[in-house]
């Protein structure tokens, strides 16, 4: 084994010394905040120039249109607040370490100083990483540990809530900006088929499984759930 291979081997075996919880670390949160913030800004910019499109999508209801706008505005404001929270005392230094310490059993990755990247840790390496993190957290005073826990859990809860709300309205974003033309075409098909079903049943005054009604039912059943705007 030459000197270069020795460096690579040592770095690989010391990855557990620089661990983070996969998908629950500062870099992952910052990346998500950038994505969510950019999406919200893009949608608000789009709405500034396509107000009529929004009103048409909401059957001309101006109150719903206002609430729709505020939904993205509020989400953007929450992103800004989270950026502030990430700069608070103890967070930059201890957030990743804290969740490695309390997250025993979570999927972890470790930084390889030779490869300059993170790699997955196996069960034993994750146990070592957890033990190392616990030792470092124990070095804090009780007051420091309590403050660190308060800040970290606050960010964790805010992040989970923010990500959930973003996922829920992502379909609405895509549809509104015509990113998902397939869904829009299905909506158009439903509208046309509704007119046919309406005519075949004399304004739905009587109900029968006419071919037109059956086709309408089929289209509605095949419409993805996330497409229906609340």
In this prediction, residue 224 carries a pLDDT of: 61
Q: What share of the chain is helix, strand, coil (3-state, %, to 5)?
A: 75, 5, 20
- Residues 217 and 133 placed together within one structural domain of the fold: no
d(CA 43, CA 173): 7
- Residues 104 and 206 placed together within one structural domain of the fold: no
**How many domains does the chain contain in total?**
2
Q: State pTM to two decimals.
A: 0.70
Model pLDDT for residues 52-73, shown as the tens digit of each residue: 767 776 667 777 778 877 888 8
- Residues 193 and 145 placed together within one structural domain of the fold: no
Model pLDDT for residues 24-59, shown as the tens digit of each residue: 999 999 999 999 988 888 877 877 777 776 777 666
Tell me the mean pLDDT in the region 203-228: 67
186 vs 74 pLDDT, higher one: 74
Which structural domain, as residue segments, surrounds residue 228?
180-230
- Residues 225 and 198 placed together within one structural domain of the fold: yes
- Residues 103 and 116 placed together within one structural domain of the fold: yes
- Buried b vs exposed e over 86-108: b needs ≥16 C-beta within 10 Å? beeebbeebbbbbbbbbbeebeb
> How many other CB atoms are there within 10 angstroms of residue 69's CB atom?
16
Model pLDDT for residues 126-170, shown as the tens digit of each residue: 999 999 999 999 999 999 999 999 999 999 988 988 888 888 777
Please report which confidence band the pLDDT of residue 83 belongs to, taking 50, 70 and 90 as the band edges. Answer: very high
In this prediction, residue 207 carries a pLDDT of: 53
């Amino acid at each position: 084994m030459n000197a270069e291979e020795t460096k690579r081997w040592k770095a690989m075996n010391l990855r557990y010394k620089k661990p983070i919880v996969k998908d629950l670390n500062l870099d992952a949160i910052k990346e998500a905040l950038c994505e969510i913030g950019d999406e919200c800004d893009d949608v608000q910019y789009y709405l500034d120039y396509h107000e009529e499109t929004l009103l048409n999508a909401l059957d001309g209801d101006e109150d719903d249109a206002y609430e729709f706008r505020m939904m993205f505005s509020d989400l953007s404001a929450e992103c800004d607040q989270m950026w502030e929270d990430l700069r608070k005392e103890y967070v930059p230094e201890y957030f990743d370490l804290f969740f490695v310490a309390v997250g025993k059993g979570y999927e972890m990755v470790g930084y390889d100083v030779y490869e300059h990247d993170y790699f997955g840790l196996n069960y034993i390496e994750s146990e070592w990483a957890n033990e190392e993190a616990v030792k470092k957290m124990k070095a804090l005073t009780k007051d420091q540990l309590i403050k660190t826990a308060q800040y970290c859990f606050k960010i964790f809860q805010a992040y989970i809530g923010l990500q959930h709300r973003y996922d829920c309205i992502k379909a609405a974003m895509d549809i509104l900006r015509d990113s998902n033309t397939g869904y829009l075409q299905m909506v158009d098909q439903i509208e046309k088929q509704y007119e046919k079903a309406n005519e075949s049943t004399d304004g739905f005054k009587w109900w029968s499984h006419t071919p037109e009604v059956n086709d309408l039912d089929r289209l509605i059943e095949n419409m993805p759930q996330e497409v229906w705007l609340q």
